[in-house]
Amino acid sequence: MPIFYSAVEVIEMAVQTEKAGKGFYEGVAKKTNNNQLKELFDFLAQEETKHQAIFSELYKTIKESPQTMPYNWEELKLYLAAITESRFFLGKDKAINLVKEAKTPQKAIEQALDFERDTMLFYNEITTIVAEKDRPVVTKIIEQEKSHIRKLQALKSTLSGLK
């Protein structure tokens, strides 16, 4: 049976997602011996902290003045539920388990790429529930997520000897 979320809950999920991402990146950065991976994952952990602060502000805004839901809110809730059931979302334990699974730099990068792609999809949908004035903020985060994917892909290529 699908789980349904309110707009406030969706933004709270974004905050929790950023916390989980930070935990994953910090965990891998601490355990890796690869300096390039450590440097990139330290940077990504800092980015997650910034995103968490931004979504926390959006959370306050939405909680104080609830927005009119999009016309297709029921369909959107189903889609968001499917995304958040991913193994990358919600919960510190999920981040810890992913760190344990990241036995090689390549595996850590693959997990990070999957996480960034899933969060980007999720944030694309969030743009439909935030006020028009807040959309540029979420769009900026989406652009940063794309940048993270490019950086991860570049490091993956470097470590694979493709560069």
d(CA 4, CA 114): 24
pTM, two decimal places = 0.77
Return the minimum-mean-pLDDT range out of 74-83, 119-128, 147-156. Answer: 74-83
Confidence check: pLDDT of 45 > 90: yes
Instruction: Please name the residue ranges forming H helices in 5-159.
Output: 7-31, 35-64, 73-84, 92-101, 105-126, 135-159
Task: Band the pLDDT of 63: cuts 50, 70, 90.
Answer: confident
CATH code for the structural domain at 7-159: 1.20.1260.10
Give me the chain's average pLDDT, please. Answer: 80
Residue whose C-alpha is closest to residue 55's, from 87, 88, 22, 97: 22
pLDDT at residue 75 tops 70? no
Q: Six-digit token pair at 85?
A: 């059931």
**Treating both helix axes as pointing N-terminal to C-terminal, what angle do 35-64 and 105-126 enclose, rounded to 10 degrees?**
20
